[in-house]
Amino acid sequence: MSQALTGQTMNAVIRPEAQIGHAIAKSALTKLAAWINDRNIPFLIISIGMIVMLLWAGSYKMTAPGAEGIVPLVSNSPLISWHFKLFGPYIGSDIIGSTEIVAALLMVVGYLRPQAGIIGGLIATGMFATTSTMIITTPGAIVSVHGLKYMGFLGLFLFKDVISLGASLYLVTYFGQRAILSENKSQ
């Protein structure tokens, strides 16, 4: 039972909130929000930012300073410390960097083939779910100042992975909605 999708229905599938768009927006603030939404600006910024970050970080991990820089993070993580014990810091870091690059490239392909973007987003989700736990396991991430616990500079650096986890999940759902639309078009 295939159903032809109209332009209005396609927008609802891709971005359900777009139906709020210009037809309902009355104040300048809501019109601005609708304008941003209609141009897909959040997706573009999040996807391009994620792709650049993964390519850059992945390639840096393939250098000696990049590999040495993640040793304290990986070594103290119960989820991934086995990785360096098995492969050593340099090959282990190369594998992590390669994984980041593959995730980024799959997201790029996702612009044309949304299923690839879903896979890239899922890889990034797994990576950032793992690295988000390092806030708790890495010495120096949480510091005590006058008896109160704070995130130190290392903790704040790692906290970006919590935000990146949310961005990765957003990309999975965005590419997923695009893939659903593609599947329905082909029926």
Q: For the segment 108-143, what is each residue's pLDDT rounded down to a tens digit? A: 999 999 999 999 999 999 999 999 999 999 999 999
136 lies in the same domain as 64 = yes
pLDDT at residue 1 is higher than 90: no
Q: Token digits for 154?
A: 């290392």
**According to the model, what pLDDT value does residue 23 have?**
62
52 lies in the same domain as 93 = yes
117 lies in the same domain as 148 = yes
154 lies in the same domain as 116 = yes
Contact (Cβ atoms closer than 8 angstroms) between residue 155 and residue 142: yes
34 lies in the same domain as 45 = no
Give the domain extent around 8. Answer: 1-39
The pTM of this model reads 0.84
Q: Average pLDDT, stretch 146-156?
A: 94
pLDDT tens digits along 33-82:
989 999 999 999 999 999 999 999 999 999 999 999 999 999 999 999 99
CA–CA dist 110, 104 (Å, integer): 10
44 in helix, strand or coil? helix
Average pLDDT, the chain: 89
74 lies in the same domain as 17 = no
**Helix, strand and coil in the chain, % to nearest 5:** 80, 5, 20
57 lies in the same domain as 96 = yes
54 lies in the same domain as 101 = yes
Residue 8 — pLDDT band, cuts 50, 70, 90? very low
